[in-house]
Each structure stands twice: as C-alpha cells, then as structure tokens.
Amino acid sequence: MMPQNQPDLDTLISLLDSDEPSLRQQAAIALSRMKDARVIQPLLTALSDEDGTVRANAATGLGENQAAAAIEPLIELLRNDEQDIVRERAAVALAQIGNERAIDPLIEALDDRAVWVRNRVIYLLGTSRHPRAVDPLLEQLKHKDPVIRSNAAWALGAIADERALEPLLALLTAKNDDLRGNAAWALGQLGDERAVEPLFPVLDDPVPAVRGKAIWSLGKLVELTGDERIVPQLLPKLNDFDIVGDGKGSHVFVCEYVAEIIPSLGSEEAFKALQEWQPIASEKLRPYQIGRLINLLGLPNKETVEGAIGQLVRIGPQAVHQLTIALQQGPPPIRQGAARALGQIGHPDAGPKLMMALADPDAGVWSQAVAALTTIGKPVVPLLQQVLNSKNKRVRYGAAMALWRIQREDEAFQIVLMALQDDELLVRSGALIALIQQPDERALATLQIRLNEEDEAMARYVLQALNALGSHGAMATIAHWMSHHNQG
C-alpha cells in the first residue's frame, strides 16, 4: 500500500520500478497529475509497463506535460495497445500535445474497435479544428450508430469548415433527436447564411432541446450575417415554455434561449418583446427557479447553500409548497436546508409538514424543524399542543421545546426539563437553547445537576442557561463552577 502521506517525486519515480503492480499503479497515477519536466522520462519508460493502468496513467501524465518526445510512443499505443483505456488515454494525450503528427493517427483511430474510444477520438478531432479531419468526419456521418453520427456532427461544427454545410443540412430531418440537434448547432458554428432558411422549420421540431439549438444557431447567424428575416422567426419562441432537459441546466425553457440572445440582436422590436415577456416568464419560470435553488441545498459548499436559502426566502410564500415536498422527500442535506428556509419564510402553511419533520430520523432535520416552528410562532401553537403527549420521544421533545420558546406553558416546561436529562446530546442541546431563550427559575436545580454531569463543551451551554436565569442561586452556581474549573 502507498503511504498515507504523499511520497516525494524521487520516491514515486522509484516506485515505477517496483515488482508490485499496485505500487506501480499508484505511482503512475500520482505522477500523471504532476506538471514537472522531471516526470517525462520515467513516464516514457512506463508506457511499456506490462500493467495497463500504469500505461494509461503514464500517457495521461505525458499529455499533461505536453511532452513532444512522447508522440511516437503514444501513436504506437493508440494503434496497437490491447486495452481500450490505454488507447483512449493515448488519444487524449496526443491531442493535448497538439503536434501535427498526431492528426493522421487520430483519424486512423476513427476505426477503433471500441465505440467509446471512437467517440472520444471524434471529439478530439473536433477540438483540434484541423481541416484534414473534415472528410473523415463526414464519413462518420454515414455510420450506422446514431451516437457516432451525432458526435461527428458536433465535431464538424467545432471545426466550422464549409465542406460540412450540405451534409449537416441533410441531417436536420434525421430521425434521431440528438443528431438533428447537433446538426442545427453545428450549422450555427459554420456561420453560413445558406443555413438560415433551412433552420426555420427546426424551430417547430417536436423536441425542445432541438428547438433550443436551432434558436441558438439562428441567433449566431443573425449576428454574423445580419439577415433580417431571422428576428421575426425567433420572437414567437418567447412563448415556448417547453422544458429543455431536466431543469437543472442553465436553460430550463426553450424561450430562455431566445431571451439570452435578444441583447445581441440589436433589434428594437426584439427588445420590446423581451420587456413584455419578462413578467410573464418570471411567473412561469418560478417553480423551476425554486427547484434549482432547492437542489443547491444538497451541495457541500456552505456559501452556495446560504445563498440558495437567501434567494428562497426572498421568493417567500411561493416557495413554501416545493420546500415542504423537499422536506419530506429530499436527502438529509436538502431536508435540513428546506426546514431552515421554511423557518425563515415563516409562513403558517409550512407548519404541518414541519411538525412531521419532528419525527425525522436525521438529527439535523429535527433540530432545524424545531427552530423553524419556533420562528413561525403563534400560528403553530395549536399543532404543538396536540403532540405534547406523543409516544414518539423526538416529536414530544421537539414540540415542547418549540412551544416553550414561543410561549410559557407549564406542560411544555416539564417536558423540556425531561429532555434536559435525555441521553441524546442533541436533545439536551435543544432543551438548553429553549431555556436560554425562555429562562425559568424552576429549572435551576436541574441545570445545577447538568452542570456537574456534562463535559466542558456542553457545560458552557448550561452556564449560558444559568446566566439567562440571572437569579442569585444561578449566579452563585456559575461562580462556584468557574472557581472550581480554574483551580483544575
């Protein structure tokens, strides 16, 4: 096994000669991520390793370092290696090095026996933008596999050679959706005015994603050609609210493609149409905007989550319905974020679902639900009162804590005191928060007991609760503990 701490460069290079394949593999993986001239020669040697993982990662590292000395060995791997992953990594490395000598071997690899290798090579030839790749890619448009044909259409658009115009136009009526869409996109890349009129019928394609790509291409073509016929064809699509994809991308509706390109059209008519569209679209787009924000609640980035909650709160009551669904059906991070957002929105309609969240098995969701119910306040008091006798301990404790923080009720207080002695740390923390926010002298004896039984971290919360009481007995307890603690 590789040591936990990353070995130095010399050690990694030496491990490439190990008799243990796993060590050579791990060394090759680590070296493949380094941009350093010192790794080039060892990785060149590793291209001949008997282990495919080593060869593949050696190719990756040579590509990352744009090692011109690797071109011929990489071409050899691309042509003859038995493992698909090695041939694919060799192709990528050759493209990264960017040498003219790599183009013909990449073109030859269009006949690779592995479909996914061929598709990667098609992509690499497209990004190379080399004119010598055009005719071989045009041949790929005749392939029986629609995925290969579709990728070839994309690659031809990336190269933007006029030789592809007529073949791409012929694909606008293909049966495969992706093929039609990529052909429409590629025609925009070509920037040829002869594509304008044939693209007009694609604006009514039955597939939203295809329509969206046609809109994008026509927007690009109007910029490049100034063809005045395009704008009147595009503007009706501001009313096309069909969804593109799954709603998680940068474009949700077909009409958004039009709205995005209008500023570049330079048309007063288009600007006026955009202004009239915006309030209508805002209303229709909102559910999907809310959905996007809810999805962000599940991300690990704290700033992203905070920003999403802030936007959901600004949307306000209109977000409540979708948030309550997320509170029931989402994974724990989304359920936690949904509870927080519902609390900050503070709408009573969220009360019943937040009450259900008091039974959530996730401690974070339970804690956020208690806080949210407290924030909503008086409107949820009857709901909280109804479950103070629940057989579910979490529900009973959570309801009592929220109710006590909203208003002083004796039954809730007694349950909070019980929660203060619960075995679960989170429950005790919640009870302490309730007593900090709503102190009561009757809790003194229980707090004194807890102060002696909690660890130092939790004792700090107990001290806050005693300080909130402010009574002579509470302050004397604090002073005694501090004195004892300092002496220790």
Q: Work out the pLDDT band at 246, boundaries 50, 70, 90.
A: low
State what percent of residues in the chain have pLDDT above 70: 97
Instruction: Determine the average pLDDT of the residues in 447-462.
Output: 88
Look up residue 400 and give its two tokens: 């009592």
Q: Work out the pLDDT band at 251, boundaries 50, 70, 90.
A: low
Residue 393 phi, psi dihedral angles, 5° rounding: -60, -45
The pLDDT assigned to 107 comes to: 97
Look up residue 73 and give its two tokens: 């060995």
How does the average pLDDT of the chain come out, rounded?
A: 92
The pLDDT assigned to 3 comes to: 45
Instruction: Determine the average pLDDT of the residues in 416-421.
Output: 89
Work out whether the CA dihedral 398, 402, 404, 407 comes out positive or negative: negative
3-state SS track over 13-28: HHHCCCCCHHHHHHHH
Residue 2 in this model has a pLDDT that exceeds 90: no
Distance (Å, whole) CA 412 – CA 417: 9
pLDDT tens by residue, 201-241: 999 999 999 999 999 999 999 988 888 899 999 999 999 99
- Domain pair 1-128 / 297-415, same fold: yes
Q: Break the chain into its structural domains and give their ranges.
A: 1-128, 297-415
Question: Which DSSP string do the residues of 374-407 spell out, in sequence order?
Answer: HHH-GGGHHHHHHTTT-SSHHHHHHHHHHHHHHS
The pLDDT assigned to 266 comes to: 81
Cβ within 8 Å of residue 227, ≥6 positions away: 193, 196, 221
Q: Which residue has the higher pLDDT, 426 or 38?
A: 38
Residue 391 in this model has a pLDDT that exceeds 80: yes
Q: CATH number of 1-128: 1.25.10.10, 3.90.180.10, 1.20.1560.10, 2.40.160.20?
A: 1.25.10.10
The pLDDT assigned to 232 comes to: 93
Residue 438 phi, psi dihedral angles, 5° rounding: -135, 75
The pLDDT assigned to 224 comes to: 87
Q: Work out the pLDDT band at 6, boundaries 50, 70, 90.
A: low
pLDDT tens by residue, 17-49: 999 999 999 999 999 999 999 999 999 999 999
pLDDT tens by residue, 347-376: 999 999 999 999 999 999 999 999 999 999
Distance (Å, whole) CA 349 – CA 224: 52
Instruction: Determine the average pLDDT of the residues in 368-390.
Output: 93
Instruction: Determine the average pLDDT of the residues in 420-429.
Output: 88
Distance (Å, whole) CA 14 – CA 240: 61
CATH of domain 297-415: 1.25.10.10
91 in Cβ contact with 124 (< 8 Å) = yes
392 in Cβ contact with 362 (< 8 Å) = no
Q: Is 120 helix (H, G, I), strand (E, B) or coil?
A: helix
Distance (Å, whole) CA 44 – CA 166: 44
211 in Cβ contact with 241 (< 8 Å) = no
What's this model's pTM, rounded to 2 decimal places? 0.70
Instruction: Determine the average pLDDT of the residues in 180-193.
Output: 96
Residue 265 in this model has a pLDDT that exceeds 80: yes
Q: Which of 10-14, 213-217, 282-286, 357-361 has the lowest mean pLDDT?
A: 282-286
Residue 1 in this model has a pLDDT that exceeds 70: no
The pLDDT assigned to 323 comes to: 95
The pLDDT assigned to 157 comes to: 97
Instruction: Determine the average pLDDT of the residues in 302-326.
Output: 94
The pLDDT assigned to 194 comes to: 95
Instruction: Determine the average pLDDT of the residues in 274-291.
Output: 89
Kindly report the number of other CB atoms within 10 A of residue 437's CB atom: 14
pLDDT tens by residue, 76-123: 999 999 999 999 999 999 999 998 999 999 999 999 999 999 999 999
Residue 487 in this model has a pLDDT that exceeds 50: no
Burial readout 330-352 (b: 16 or more C-beta within 10 A, e: otherwise): beebbbbbbbbbbbebbbeebbe
191 in Cβ contact with 160 (< 8 Å) = yes
pLDDT tens by residue, 47-73: 999 999 999 999 999 999 999 999 999
Distance (Å, whole) CA 450 – CA 123: 66
Strand partners, 253: 243
Q: Work out the pLDDT band at 5, boundaries 50, 70, 90.
A: low
